[in-house]
Structure 1
Amino acid sequence: MKNRQSPAGDLGRRSFLRLGAGLALSVPFAAAVAGCSTDDPLAEQANAGDNKNYIAGDGSVTEYAPGDRGDAVQFSATLFDGTEVNSADWAGDVVVLNFWYAACAPCRKEAPDLVELHNTFEPEGARFYGVNIRDEAATAEAFERNFNIPYPSFMDKDGGVLLAMTSYVPPQAVPTTLVLDRQGRVAARILGLAEKGTLKALISDALAA
């Protein structure tokens, strides 16, 4: 596991989060947002009552060495268009999962970059999916039209995907972006706003492996 320094702006000067190989938490992110621990800065932010409407990460990037990635991610969920998707169908592909919702300011800021990266890497075999943790279909679809999002999103208002991911590497913030390798394992995680150059490098590394 290694931390990658973002190439631009304040993100490049932050201390990146370093986690151990055993990353499963007993408390899902949905509970963290509800403020289950006063020692958790994200939980404290959620309880602050400042109407920010999102739980912000700090842009921390964590990469996981192949030997530290553990098992392939396993879950099934429904896209907003009603399509059922099983993670087992992704075998052999690199997958980018972006956790978001429409009122999240950093989600809106990073959306154009995600669109550009999708358009760059989808022809190379990378799949992109959003995981919307809050919105009804009409709100999510309006966001997707506004930003011309070309890839689908899971409707995860019930927290099913978030809960499944706590067995591998918890998202812990909104937005969070995960890159899965060709074996379906979490290769990298960005907590908070995804800097385009950093995410591009993470996807390129996963495709090249």
Structure 2
Amino acid sequence: MRRHRRLPVLALLSALAACSPGQEAGGTSDSPLTRVPAADRRAAPDLAGTTLDGKPVRLSDYRGKVVVLNMWASWCGPCRAEAPELSRAQRHLSAKGVQVLGVDTDAQRAGGLAFQRDHDLAYPSLHDPDGRRLALLPRGYRPQAVPYTLLIDREGKIAGLCLSTLTEAEVRDITRPLLREKAH
């Protein structure tokens, strides 16, 4: 019961977050991204579970790549608009070392599977209906609404966050500096 009362609030917050301009640390209000300086980055937890297709997946499977970790839900309008953009980004940037990894927050796997099929997602999505895995994220990086995206650097550290939808061009722009960084 409690979860159902939160859904309209999450939908409203999602719409507001997607419509509001982001703020890049030290940047302008035109940017949807908040970057985390390399010296201040915290390790991302090794989120693990099964994809919507039932295959095992772990965030650490992508160590050495820049990961665009996108939280979404099938009922989220901005998520629907963003999904084709992220698929294009995955198709065009995977050879350069970028991996999009979705986190489906739908209560029922069927909703996420339909979304994945309808949008022909080119990336896997971890199913996290109760938010247990997302609760492992460090304080300050836990999503309050969807869509919500974290950038994970090659070393598995949180390098940025985005509280609004992303386009393929924005994914290219925000991953470019991370791809230039050398892993230690």
How far residue 159 of structure 1 moved from its aligned partner, in angstroms, is 0.6
Matched, 1:115 2:57: no
8 A Cα contact 1:73 1:168, kept in partner: no
| Cα root mean square deviation, aligned | 2.5
How far residue 63 of structure 1 moved from its aligned partner, in angstroms, is 0.3
- For residues 97 and 180 of structure 1, the distance between their equivalents in structure 2, rounded to whole angstroms, comes to 7
Q: CA distance change for structure 1 residues 84 and 162 in 2, over 3 Å: closer, same or farther? A: same
Equivalent of 1:46 in 9, 17, 36: 9
- Please, which runs of 5 or more residues in structure 1 have no aligned partner? 1-30, 36-44
> What SS is found at the alignment partner of 2:175?
helix
How far residue 134 of structure 1 moved from its aligned partner, in angstroms, is 1.5
Equivalent of 1:143 in 108, 115, 121: 115
Identity score, percent: 31
Q: Which amino acid aligns with 1:68?
A: D
How far residue 113 of structure 1 moved from its aligned partner, in angstroms, is 1.0
Alignment of 1:76-155 (within 5 A): 76-155=48-127
- For residues 112 and 171 of structure 2, the distance between their equivalents in structure 1, rounded to whole angstroms, comes to 23
Q: TM-score normalized by structure 2?
A: 0.79
- For residues 67 and 146 of structure 2, the distance between their equivalents in structure 1, rounded to whole angstroms, comes to 18
8 A Cα contact 1:106 1:193, kept in partner: yes
Q: CA distance change for structure 1 residues 196 and 110 in 2, over 3 Å: closer, same or farther? A: same
Equivalent of 1:206 in 159, 171, 178: 178
- For residues 202 and 166 of structure 1, the distance between their equivalents in structure 2, rounded to whole angstroms, comes to 21
How far residue 76 of structure 1 moved from its aligned partner, in angstroms, is 1.8
How far residue 164 of structure 1 moved from its aligned partner, in angstroms, is 1.2
Q: CA distance change for structure 1 residues 166 and 173 in 2, over 3 Å: closer, same or farther? A: farther
Question: Which structure has greater helix proportion?
Answer: 2
Matched, 1:162 2:125: no
Q: CA distance change for structure 1 residues 56 and 204 in 2, over 3 Å: closer, same or farther? A: same
How far residue 158 of structure 1 moved from its aligned partner, in angstroms, is 1.5
Alignment of 1:1-20 (within 5 A): none
Equivalent of 1:65 in 37, 43, 48: 37
- For residues 73 and 55 of structure 1, the distance between their equivalents in structure 2, rounded to whole angstroms, comes to 27
Q: Match of 1:175?
A: 147
How far residue 135 of structure 1 moved from its aligned partner, in angstroms, is 4.2
- For residues 157 and 55 of structure 1, the distance between their equivalents in structure 2, rounded to whole angstroms, comes to 20
- For residues 115 and 59 of structure 1, the distance between their equivalents in structure 2, rounded to whole angstroms, comes to 23
Q: When the two structures are aligned, how many residues end up with a matched partner?
A: 166
Q: Match of 1:190?
A: 162
- For residues 176 and 53 of structure 2, the distance between their equivalents in structure 1, rounded to whole angstroms, comes to 29
How far residue 136 of structure 1 moved from its aligned partner, in angstroms, is 2.0
* Segments of 4+ moved more than 3 angstroms: 51-56
How far residue 65 of structure 1 moved from its aligned partner, in angstroms, is 0.7
Q: TM-score normalized by structure 1?
A: 0.70
How far residue 93 of structure 1 moved from its aligned partner, in angstroms, is 1.4
